[in-house]
Every structure is written in C-alpha cells, then in structure tokens.
Amino acid sequence: MRHPHFIFLISILFLAPASVAWAKHEPESVRAYKGAIVMDAASGRVLFEDRADEVGPPASVTKLMTFLVVHDCIASGALTLQTPITMTREDARVAALKDSTNVQLKEGEVFPVEELLYAIMIQSANDAANALTHAAAGSRAAFIERMNAKALELGMTHTSFHSPNGLPPTHGQLPDITSPRDLALLSRYLLLHTDILRYTSVRARAFGTGVRLQTVAMTNHNHLLGRIAGCDGLKTGFTNGAGFCLAATAQRSNHRVIAVIMGSSEAKLRDLKMAELIEKGFALMPIGSTFQRSAPPVAPAPPAAATAPVSSPPATSPVNELTTPTTPAGPAVPPTTSAPSPVIPAPLPPGQKTSSTNRVSLRLILPDTTE
C-alpha cells in the first residue's frame, strides 16, 4: 500500500501548476478599478495614477458637480440654504423610478435647499438632485449647461454631463462621462472653495423631520467614514454600466489626500482598494504639504426641525440602495459627526480570498450591501 505522504506529494505536484495558472488568470469580471488616481489636495500634485484618463460614467459621483453648481448659486446670492423649494411632478416621477435611490419626494412638498443638499450627499437621492435643478437654474437643461460650463472652467477635459444625478441615460439621452483625473480636479476644487465636508462627513440623518409624519432614514453609502482615519468624504456611485465608483478624501494633521476610483466590479473590493490608495497617498505625501481652505464656507442655516442626524451607522440592517427605509419623526438635534477611527482589523470570512491588488493587507469591516 502506498504511503499517505507519497500520495500527498503527488497531489501537490499535479495541483500546484493548475493553482498557479488560475492565479495568473484571475477573471476579468473581478477588478479593483478601470482607472484610479491619488492627489495631494494642497498642491494638486499627483501622487499615484493608473489609467487616470480612462473615461466612463461616474454614476452618482456626478452629484459632486450638482453640489458645486448649487453652491455657486448660494455664493452669488441667488439662493440661500433656507430657500424653500416646491417639489414638482417631475421630481416625484424621478422618486418613483425603479432602482433609484431617493427620499420619496411628493409633488407639492416643500423643503429648503439645505435639506436637499444633505439628501444628495448622504442618501444620494436622485429626486432631490432633480429638484435642485429647477430651483437653481429654472430648468434641468439649464442646470446641466451650468454643470458643463463649470467642468470646462475647472479644466475637466474628459467630462460631459447630461444629468444632475448620474442615472443611466434614457432613450435618446447621452451618458454622463468623466475620468478619475477630472473627478480629482473637481474634488480638490470643492475641498478648497466649498463646505462640502459638512455634508459628506455625516454618516446618518433623517430627512423630512417636521414636515412629514414618516421621515426617511438616510445612511451614507461611503462605508469608509469612521473606518479609515481622517476620512470625511466624498461621494460613492454605482450603476451597472459604471460599476462601483468613489471619490474619497481624508485628512491627517495638515495633510489631505484625494483618491478616485472608477469602474470597480464590487463595492467591497473598491473600498479595500480605496483604503490602500489613501494609505499610499499619505506615505507619498511631501512633508511640507499643508492643506488649507482658501475661502470661508457658506453660512449654514440655523438648526431646523427637519434635521435628526446621528453620529454612527446602525449596527444591523444596513441600507440597500434599492430600498429607502423610513423611521418615525423624533426630536430634532443639531447635525453632528464623530471622529473617524483608524482602519479596523478583522479576520476574513472562511474561504474568502483577498484581492491581489491589495498590497497593504488592509481589512475593513464593511456592510454586506450594494449601492
């Protein structure tokens, strides 16, 4: 009878080549990104790039430009954070779209600009983005013209917007197109000239308190908040055509990093890779780099009855982007956020393999949810 050790060695000899071949030919359907870039927010210096000019749809990361156009209207005095906006039939139609993240806007409802800005940055609400277009520019078409004019002004040469929310194009509509480099330029401008972090750093908040009997529980789709040290923004995005996208930023001491990923095949893979890129950015950051905003933020509105944020995400029942949960209205409290914590080490589930692109062996405890 053959010795068991002999059988084991023979098995290794036959199986090892196959295992090596499988590792070298990882399925193309599993990819960390189609393009990525890491930038020093202070100087705009590129610290790392890989196919940074690869163009594709940004999905809901589009809403970064939506925020900027509205911000410019507020800065010019055309709007204030307290300007009331009456919801239209078109806003309600967008809210009713299948598989569209929303805050369930109804025709005739009235919400202030500030509340809708929280909705697009936290909940990634497509209906709220649509509502902001007619408030800021009179029509959706005029608003999109302003989006593209601003992109041109910022030098976003690979960008063309055709929606305020990043939804897939309808019949006869062109898709939103941009690149990681362009999104990094946009992100840097927002960090220098706006108070966008006031919105993107909030992990959870109620929408409609004081207006509705049932509020919408908004949970930030950026799972790096509170899990990566210093991370306080910016925006996630997902459609079948775009894949999983993320424009992120983190600050530690005087250093601030911007990182953008487009076209990841999985949300968790994107987040793990983003964590790696943020660490790479801080490691490559020039010692003398000091980030400082170049303009004061727009004055916030007084705490309103419609705000009920919380400082941490719920421990259970993670929000799925395809559903919009509601929660009973409660007493209003001022918007607050808790300080982000360092990367949380956690063992991988049995049988789960790490991405070959994750060189720093980061492990994040991430909700098992889609966007």
For 140-181, give the DSSP string. Answer: HHHHHHHHHHHHHHTT-TT-B---SS-PPP-TTPPPPBB-HH
Cβ atoms within 10 Å of 12's Cβ, excluding its own: 10
Angle between helix 63-76 and helix 140-153 axes, rounded to 10 deg: 90
pLDDT, one tens digit per residue, over 50-73 is 999 999 999 999 999 999 999 999
Q: Strand pairing of 110-112 and 243-252?
A: unpaired
Is 187 part of the annotated catalytic residue set?
A: no
Catalytic entry in 34, 100, 124, 150 = 124
**Mean confidence (pLDDT) of the chain:** 80
Half-sphere exposure of 89 (CA within 13 A, CB side): 0
pLDDT, one tens digit per residue, over 41-52 is 999 999 999 999
CA distances from 131 to 78, 134, 234, 297, 353 (A): 16, 6, 21, 23, 43
Output the six-digit token pair for 295. Answer: 């303009």
Give dist(CA 42, CA 40) in Å, integer.
6
- Nearest 5°: CA angle at 182, between 285 and 322? 105
Whether 125 is covered by a domain: the verdict is yes
Is 268 part of the annotated catalytic residue set?
A: no
Output the six-digit token pair for 319. Answer: 């929000």
* CATH code for the domain in which residue 240 is found: 3.40.710.10
Q: Do the beta carbons of residue 208 and residue 306 sit within 8 Å?
A: yes
Give dist(CA 349, CA 352) in Å, integer.
6
| Residue 296: pLDDT over 70 | no
Whether 19 is covered by a domain: the verdict is no
Find the range with the poorest average confidence among 32-41, 132-141, 288-297.
288-297
Residue among 15, 28, 38, 22 at smallest CA distance from 276: 38
What kind and span of H or E run contains 182?
A: helix 180-193
The band of 300, judged by pLDDT with boundaries at 50, 70 and 90, is: low
What kind and span of H or E run contains 326?
A: strand 326-328
Whether 370 is covered by a domain: the verdict is no
What kind and span of H or E run contains 273?
A: helix 267-284
pLDDT of residue 332: 35
Q: Let me know if 7 is exposed, middle or buried by CB neighbors in 10 A (0-12, 13-18, 19+).
A: exposed
Q: Do the beta carbons of residue 329 and residue 216 sit within 8 Å?
A: no
Whether 68 is covered by a domain: the verdict is yes
Please give the model's pTM, rounded to 2 decimal places. 0.77
Whether 364 is covered by a domain: the verdict is no
Give dist(CA 350, CA 333) in Å, integer.
42
Q: Strand pairing of 110-112 and 84-86?
A: antiparallel
pLDDT of residue 141: 97
Catalytic entry in 34, 63, 150, 273 = 63
Find the range with the poorest average confidence among 2-6, 41-45, 263-267.
2-6
Percent of the chain with pLDDT over 70: 71
Whether 297 is covered by a domain: the verdict is yes
Give dist(CA 182, CA 124) in Å, integer.
20
Whether 126 is covered by a domain: the verdict is yes
Average pLDDT rounded to a whole number, residues 269-285? 97
Q: Do the beta carbons of residue 162 and residue 264 sit within 8 Å?
A: no
Whether 214 is covered by a domain: the verdict is yes
pLDDT of residue 171: 85
| Residue 90: pLDDT over 80 | yes
Residue among 86, 87, 70 at smallest CA distance from 78: 70
Cis peptide before 197 (omega within 30 of 0): no
User: Domain containing 211: what range?
Assistant: 31-312+323-328
Is 280 part of the annotated catalytic residue set?
A: no
**How many structural domains are present in the chain?**
1
Q: Which residue has the tokens 């999109």?
A: 144
Under 8 Å CB-to-CB from 345, ≥6 apart: which residues?
363
Average pLDDT rounded to a whole number, residues 344-358? 34
Strand extents, DSSP E, the chain: 35-40, 46-50, 84-86, 110-112, 204-207, 214-219, 231-239, 243-252, 255-264, 326-328
- Nearest 5°: CA angle at 52, between 40 and 342? 45
Catalytic entry in 11, 19, 34, 60 = 60
